[in-house]
Structure 1
Amino acid sequence: MDKFYHFLTIASIVLYWVLVAGVTIRVVLKRRAVSVSLAWLMIIYILPVVGVACYFLFGELNLGRTRAERAKEMLAPFAEWFAKLNDCHAHSPESFGRHIYRIDELCNNRLGLPALSGNTLSLQSSPDDILHSIIEDIENAKSHIRMVFYIWHPGGLADSVASALIRAAKRGVDVKLLLDSAGSPRFFRSQWYTMMKESGIEVLQALEVSPWRIFLRRLDLRQHRKIIVIDDKVGYTGSMNLVDPAYFKQSSGVGQWVDIMVRVTGPTVNVLSAIHCWDWEVETGSRTMPQLPECRIDPNEPQHPVQVVPSGPGMPEHLISQVLTLAINQANKSVCITTPYFVPSADLLETLKMTAQRGIKVELIIPLKNDSIMVQWASRSFYTELMEAGVEIYEFYGGLLHTKSVVIDEQFCLVGTVNMDMRSLWLNFELTLAIDDEAFTKEMYWLQKSYMDASHKVKLKEWHKRSMYSRFLERVFYLFNPLL
C-alpha cells in the first residue's frame, strides 16, 4: 500500500509539472504583450495548481464556440452597414478637427465605421437628473427601446425606470433589454425580471454564468456596455449602470458611485442602435439591423462630429486602446483622465510617461478608495514612475469616481464605458465616444476640475515615505495585472 501511495505521489507530481510545462509553452507561444506573458508565468509558478487553474479559466480570450462563430459571420454584414455611412452627408472629414480626423481614419480603415456630424450632446452628471431624463424619454417612446447594461440593480429610481419600461411595453413599444449575467444577478432574482417578461419585454442574460460553462468560455468576459436607444432618435451612453447610487453598494465603504451619461441625438444614435443589434445577435443569433440615419446636415449649424468606437470579441482587436493612444499622442497642451480602475498596459504606461516628458500637462484622477482592493494596490504600484515622469496624480475622496473620461487640450474628449485596465482594453464588450465638440469638452473638463477640487494631490516626496508593507502589497498585486 505504501508503494502505491508513493507511486501515486510521484505520478501526480510528474503530471502536474507536465501540465505546467504545457501551459508555459502555450503562454510563450501566444502573441501578446511581454509583460502580460511574464505576469502569467509568475502566477503559474508562484501559485502551484491555483495558477494553472486561473490560466485555464482567465488566461485566454475565449468567447465560446457558438458566439465566436456568430461574431465571425456577423462582421461582414455589419461592416457593410457601417460602410454605407461613408456616403452620408453627416460624414464630412473636411470639416473635422485635427483630433478626430485621425481617429476617423483609424476606425474607418479597421471597421468601416466613420465619424458622423450633426449631433447634439448633453452631458449629465447628476444621477437623479440622468434617471429622470431616461424615464421621460421612455415615456415618449413610440416604436422601440433598445438597452444594454452591465449592472441593473433594483431600488430607488432604477425601479421607476423599470416601471416606465413596463408601461411602454403595454402600450405596444417593442422593448429589448440585454443585461450582463454576472453584473446583474440581483435583478434576475427580483420580481422586476418576472414582471418585465410578463409585460412582453424581451429580457436576456448576456454571457450567462453557470458552473458547467467553466471550460466552454472565459467566465470573466463581460458585457460592459451601457447603451439606451429610443426610436433611433435619442441615445444614451456613458459610465453609469442602471442603478440609483443611493441604493447601490451602500455597505462597501467607498461612498456613492460618481458617474456621467451623455444624451445624444442625431446620426450617432443609429450607430449606437447598430452596436446593440450586434450584441443582441451575438447572444441570440437573431439579426435586426437599424435604419440608416437621415443625412441632412445644416452647414450653418455646429457639426459636432462623434466617432463611436466599439470593442469586444469578434471586432477588430485593440481598437479602443489604439484610439486612446492616438488621442493622447496628439495632445499639444494637456491630457486629463478620470478612471476608477487604473492598471495600464506597458504600452499605455509608456504613452502617458512620454506625453508628460515632452512637456504636456498630464493629470490622472482616480478614487482614493476602491471597491476592488486588488486594483487599489496594483494602481499604486505605478505612482512612482508616473510622478517621476511628470504626471500629476489626484486621489478623489468624494465617493467611488466611476466616470471614464479623457480630455485632450480642453478641445476634444473620449467618454464611455472603458476603464484603463487590461480587462476593458483587451477583454470586455466596451464602447467609447470620441467627441469633437469644444463646448461639450469644456463642460467635461469643468466637471473633471470639480473632481480635482474633491481630491488630494499625491506628492512624490511624501509618496517615497510610505511603509515597506505598502510597497510589498503594491508589488504583490501588480503581479495579478492580467486578472484585474
Structure 2
Amino acid sequence: MDKVYHFLTLAGIGLYWVLVAGVTLRVVLKRRAVSVSLAWLMVIYIIPVVGVLCYFLFGELNLGRKRADRAREMFHPFGDWFYQLNDCNAHITDGLGTHISKIDHLCNNRMGIPALCGNQLQLQTTPQEILLSVINDIEQAKQSIRMVFYIWHPGGLADSVASALIQAAKRGVDVKVLLDSAGSHTFFKSHWAKMMRDAGIELVEGLKVSPWRIFLRRLDLRQHRKIIVIDDDVAYTGSMNMVDPAYFKQDSGVGQWIDIMIRIEGPTVNVLSAIHCWDWEVETGDRQLPAQPECSIEIPIDSKPVQVVPSGPGMPDHLISQVLTLAMHQAEESVRITTPYFVPSADLLETIKTTAQRGIKVELIIPKNNDSIMVKWASRAFYTDLLSSGVKIYEFDGGLLHTKSVVIDELFCLVGTVNMDMRSLWLNFEVTLAVEDPAFTKEMHTLQSSYVQRSEQVDYSVWKQRSIYHRFFERLFYLFNPLL
C-alpha cells in the first residue's frame, strides 16, 4: 500500500509540473504585454495549484464559443450600419477640432464610427438628479426603452425606476433590459426581476455566472457598459450603475459612491442604441438594429462633435486604450484624470509619465478608500514612478469616487464607463464618449476641481518615508495586476 501511495504522490507531482510547464509555454507564446506575461508567471509559480487554476479562469480572453461566433457574424452587418453614419450631415469633417479629428480617424478606420455633431449634452452629477431625470424620460416613452447595466441594486430611487419601466411596458412600450449576471446578482434574486418579466419586459441576464461554465468562459469578463436609450431620442451613459447610493454597499466602509451621467439628445443617441443592440445580439442572438439618425436636421456651424468609442470582445482590440493614449499625447497644457480603480498597464503608465515629463500639468484623482483592498494597495505601487515624473496625485476623501473622466487642456474630455485598469481597457464591454465641446468640458473640469477640493494631495517627500510594511503590500498586490 505504501508503494501505491508513493507512486500516486510521484505521479501527482509529475502531472502537476507537466501542467505548469504547459501553462508556462502557453503564457510565453501568447502575444500580449510582457509585464502581463511576467505577472502571470509569478502568480503561477508563487501560488502552487491555485495560480494555475487562476490562469485557466482569468488568464485568457474567452467569450465562449456561442457568443464569439455571434460576434464574428455580427461585425460586418453592424460595420455597414456604422459606416452609413459617414453620409449623415452630422459628420462634419471640416469642423472637427485638433483633439477629436485624429480620434475620429482612428475610430472610423477601425470600426466605422465617426464623430457626430448636433448633440445636446447635459452633465448630471447627483444621484437624485440622475434618477429623477431617468424616471421622467421613461414616463414620456412612447415606443422603446433599451437599457444595459453592470449593476442594478434594489432600493431607494432605483426601485422607482423599476416601477416606471413596469408602467411603460404595461402601456405598450417595448422594454429591453440587459444586466450583467455577476454585478446584478442581488437584483435577479429580488422580486423586481419577476415583476418586470410578468409585465412583459424582456429582462436578460448577461454573461451568466455558473459553476458549469468556469472552464468554458472567462469569469471576470463582464458587461460593464451603462446605457439607457429611450425612443432613440434620448440617451444616458456615464459611470453610474442603476443604484441609489444611499442603499448600496453601506457596510463597505468607503462612503457613498460618487458618479456622473450624461443625458444626450441628437445623432449620438442612435449610435448608443446600436451599441445596446450589439450587446443584445451577442447575448440573445436577436438582431434589432435601430434606425439611422435623422440626417436632414440643421447642424449649427459651431456644433461640437461627440465620438462614441466602444470596446469589448468581438470589437477592435484595445480601441478605448488607443483613444486614451492618443488624447494624452495631444495634450498641450493639462491632463486631469479621475478613476476609482487605477492599475494601469506598463504602456499606459509610460504614457502618463511621458505626458508629465514633457511639461504638461498631469493630475490624478483617485479614492482614498477603495472597496477593493487589492486595488488600493496595487494602485499605490505606481505612486513613486508617477510622483517622480511630476504627476500630482490627489486622494479623494468624500466617498468612493467612481467618476471615470479625463479632461485635456480644459477643451476636450473623455467620459464613460472605463476604469484605468487592464480589465476595463483590455477585457470588459465598455463605452466612452470623446467630447470636443468647450462649454461641456468646462463643466466637467469644474466638477473635477470640486473633487480636488475634497482631496488630500500626496506629498512626494512624505511618501518616500512610508514604512517597509506599506512597501511590502504595495509590491505584493502589484503582482496580481492581471487579476485586477
TM band (smaller chain): over 0.9
Return the alpha-carbon distance in structure 2 between the equivalents of residues 441 and 352 of structure 1.
Answer: 20
Secondary structure, aligned partner of 1:209: coil
Match of 2:83 in 1: 83
Question: Which digits, 9 at most, give the CA deviation of each residue in 1:197-233, with x for residues without a partner?
Answer: 0000000000000100011100110000000000000
1:291-370 alignment, distance < 5 Å: 291-300=291-300, 302-370=302-370
1:165 is paired with a residue of what secondary structure? Answer: helix
Pairs within 5 Å for 1:381-396: 381-396=381-396
Query: Could you give the per-residue CA deviations for residues 66-113 of structure 1, whole angstroms, max 9, x where no partner exists?
Result: 000000000000000000000000001110111000000000000011
Q: Find the aligned partners of 1:392 and 1:296 in 2 and give their Cα distance.
A: 47
Q: Distance in 1 between matches of 2:371 and 2:197?
A: 32
Unaligned ranges ≥5, structure 1? none
Q: CA deviation at 1:476?
A: 0.3
Aligned runs of 1:4-153 on 2, under 5 Å?
4-153=4-153
Residue identity opposite 2:25 in structure 1: I
2:290 corresponding residue in structure 1: 290
Match for residue 410 of structure 1?
410
Q: Give the distance between the partners of 2:12 and 2:244, measured in 1 at CA.
A: 51
Equivalent residue, structure 2, for 1:257: 257
What is the SS of the residue equivalent to 1:106?
Answer: helix
Q: Distance in 1 between matches of 2:250 and 2:177?
A: 26
1:230 corresponds to: 230
What is the TM-score when the length of structure 1 is the normalising length?
Answer: 0.99
Is 1:398–2:401 an aligned residue pair? no
1:446 aligns to 2:446 (yes or no): yes
**Contact 1:146/1:273, CA 8 A, preserved across alignment:** yes
Is residue 85–residue 91 contact of structure 2 (8 Å, CA) maintained in 1? yes
Secondary structure at the counterpart of residue 216 of structure 1: coil
> Is the contact between residue 345 and residue 422 of structure 1 (CA under 8 Å) also seen in structure 2?
yes
CA contact (8 A) 2:118 2:300 kept: no
Following the alignment from structure 1 to structure 2, what is the Cα–Cα distance between the partners of residues 299 and 30? 47
Cα distance in 2 between the residues matched to 1:53 and 1:210: 16
Pairwise CA distance, 1:26: 0.1
Alignment TM-score, normalising by the size of structure 2? 0.99
- 8 Å CA contact 1:357–1:389 kept in 2: the answer is yes
Q: CA RMSD in A?
A: 0.6
**1-structure distance, mates of 2:234, 2:88:** 19
Matched residue type, 1:74 = M
Correspondence for 1:466? 466
Distance 1:15 1:75 in 2: 41
Instruction: Could you tell me which runs of 5 or more consecutive residues in structure 2 were left unpaired when the two chains were aligned.
Output: none
Shift of 1:301: 5.1
Mapped contact 2:341–2:419 kept (Cα < 8 A): yes
1:296 deviates by 3.2
Does structure 1 conserve the Cα–Cα contact (< 8 Å) formed by 2:90 and 2:299?
Answer: no
Query: Distance between the aligned counterparts of 2:320 and 2:306, measured in 1?
Result: 14
Residue 251 (structure 1) shift: 0.4
Instruction: Give the Cα separation in 1 of the matches to 2:5 and 2:191.
Output: 54
Secondary structure in 2 matching 1:262:
strand
Contact 1:131/1:161, CA 8 A, preserved across alignment: yes
Equivalent-residue separation in structure 2 for 1:452 and 1:147 (angstroms):
32
Q: Report if aligned partners of 2:342, 2:421 keep a CA contact under 8 Å in 1.
A: yes
Query: Aligned partner of 2:290: which letter?
Result: P
Matched residue, 1:198: 198
In the TM superposition, residue 304 of structure 1 has moved relative to its aligned partner by: 2.0
How far apart are the structure 1 equivalents of 2:3 and 2:223? 52
CA separation in 2, counterparts of 1:93 and 1:448?
A: 30
In the alignment, what sits opposite 2:480? 480
Q: Please list the CA deviations of residues 13-55 of structure 1 after superposition, one character each: whole Å capped at 9, or x if unmatched.
A: 1100000000000000000000000000000000000000000
CA–CA distance in structure 2, aligned partners of residues 80 and 15 of structure 1: 50
Shift in CA distance, 299/137, structure 1 to aligned 2, threshold 3 Å: closer
Q: Which amino acid aligns with 2:208?
A: E
1:419 corresponds to: 419
Instruction: Report the more deviating stretch, 288-297 or 43-52.
Output: 288-297
The answer as to whether partners of 1:120 and 1:304 remain within 8 angstroms in 2 is no
Aligned to 1:224, the other structure's residue is in SS state coil
Distance 1:460 1:297 in 2: 53
Rounded to whole Å, the distance in 1 between the matches of 2:296 and 2:445 is 30
Shift of 1:461: 0.3
Partners of 1:153 and 1:144 in 2: CA distance: 23
Q: 1:430 is matched by which residue type in structure 2? A: E
In 1, distance between residues paired with 2:73 and 2:158?
Answer: 36
- Cα distance in structure 1, aligned partners of 2:322 and 2:359: 22
- Give the paired residue count: 484
**CA–CA distance in structure 2, aligned partners of residues 306 and 300 of structure 1:** 14
Asked if 2 retains the 8 angstrom alpha-carbon contact of 1:118 and 1:302, the reply is no
Q: Contact conserved, 2:224 with 2:417, CA < 8 A, in 1? A: yes
Letter in 1 for 2:29: L
CA offsets per residue over residues 300-335 of structure 1, 9 Å max, x none?
A: 453121000000000000000000000000000000
Please give the per-residue CA displacement for 1:253-279, whole angstroms capped at 9, x wherever unaligned: 000000000000000000000000000
SS of the residue corresponding to residue 320 of structure 1 reads: helix
Residue type of the alignment partner of 1:416: G
* Cα distance in 1 between the residues matched to 2:461 and 2:297: 54
1:163 aligns with 2:159: no
- SS of 1:415's equivalent in the other structure is strand
